[in-house]
Amino acid sequence: MRSLRLLALVLAAFAARGCIIARSYLGNELPTVAEGELIPGTTTKAEVLRKVGPPDRLVRQYDGDVFVYAFLRRNVNSLILAEPVFTRLTIFEYTKEQEKSDRLVVMFDRAGVLVSVGVQHGTGTLEPY
């Protein structure tokens, strides 16, 4: 009788657990631009559009435009232990969420000529599951 109760308890524990692993991505991975491809004072807005593609966001400023390219990555790990049948009581819940982004910012002057480029790579620092 005791082994039957133990077996029922083990089966209930396996039925009561839930694990969720999710990944979500927003935007596209940043395009790879070779060193020296975008030259301040020389490269035009049209050349940037041809080499890098359309930006995710365009910011208009008095002294020129800014192209912003962004790639957002979110990883979520979740573990829930609950009694699913009678009480629906949550016994234990753990969630770990990480969110990182890569950004490329390209600034132009009023004539549409490249002034500066800034890059931030953050998605490579996400911890593996």
Which residues contact residue 109 at a Cβ distance below 8 angstroms, ignoring those fewer than 6 apart? 63, 64, 115
- Does 105 reside within a domain? yes
Enter the tokens of residue 36. 């020296």
Q: Which residues of 84-118 are buried (b: 16+ CB within 10 A; e: fewer)?
A: eeeeeeeeeeeeeeeebbbbbbbbbeeeebbeebe
Question: Can you give the pLDDT at residue 60?
Answer: 93
Q: Quote the distance between the C-alpha of residue 79 and its chain's center.
A: 21
Query: What's the pLDDT tens digit per position in 58-79?
Result: 999 999 999 999 999 888 888 8
Look up the domain containing 67 and give its range.
2-28+39-122
- Does 128 reside within a domain? no
Tally the domains of the chain: 1
- Does 129 reside within a domain? no
- Does 113 reside within a domain? yes
- Does 34 reside within a domain? no
Question: Can you give the pLDDT at residue 64?
Answer: 94
Query: What's the pLDDT tens digit per position in 11-20?
Result: 555 555 567 7
Mean pLDDT calculated for residue range 37-54 = 92
User: Tokens 């009480």 — which residue?
Assistant: 87
The model's pTM is 0.67
